[in-house]
């Protein structure tokens, strides 16, 4: 963990949670953080961020798509314990995440704030 990113940016989130795992750089949309805070308040459970910002090299390493919203700080992959993934999906839709990837086998959701039409997919 890069100590420079160990900054509390919201009641339940610190900046390091969103940093790229290979280079420790961070890019984070304020709108993404606002929606995550809202989701956290609704579900009343910790949100674990598996992946936030990714540099181009990290995105390629993990098999991310070119043009991924992770590259822009507009996406996260999250897990939440003790809640059904399908319920978490419904909460995320209600909050207004426009891109939602449902990865049931790996038990996580991809959430993004793309500007175009809403998109849902399963992985």
How crowded is residue 101: how many other Cβ atoms within 10 Å of its Cβ? 17
Query: What burial class does residue 80 get, using C-beta atoms within 10 Å of its C-beta: 0-12 exposed, 13-18 middle, 19+ buried?
Result: buried
What's the pTM value of the predicted model, to 2 decimals? 0.93
User: What CATH code is assigned to 3-122?
Assistant: 3.30.1380.10
- C-alpha distances in angstroms, 52 versus 12, 21, 43? 15, 9, 20
Does residue 96 come out as left (phi exceeding 0), alpha (psi in the -120 to 50 range) or beta?
left
Q: Domain segments of the chain: what residues? A: 3-122
Q: What is the pLDDT of residues 9-67, one digit of tens each?
A: 999 999 999 999 999 999 999 999 999 999 999 999 999 999 999 999 999 999 999 99
């Amino acid at each position: 963990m890069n100590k420079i990113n160990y900054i509390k940016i919201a009641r339940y989130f610190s900046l390091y949670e969103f940093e790229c795992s290979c280079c420790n750089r961070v890019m984070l949309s304020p709108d993404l953080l606002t929606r995550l805070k809202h989701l956290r308040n609704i579900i009343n459970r910790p949100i674990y961020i598996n992946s936030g910002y990714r540099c181009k090299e990290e995105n390629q390493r993990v098999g991310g798509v070119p043009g991924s919203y992770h590259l822009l700080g507009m996406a996260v992959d999250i897990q939440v314990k003790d809640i059904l993934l399908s319920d978490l999906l419904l909460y995320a839709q209600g909050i207004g995440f426009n891109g939602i990837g449902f990865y049931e086998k790996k038990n996580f959701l991809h959430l993004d704030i793309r500007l175009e039409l809403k998109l849902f997919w399963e992985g």
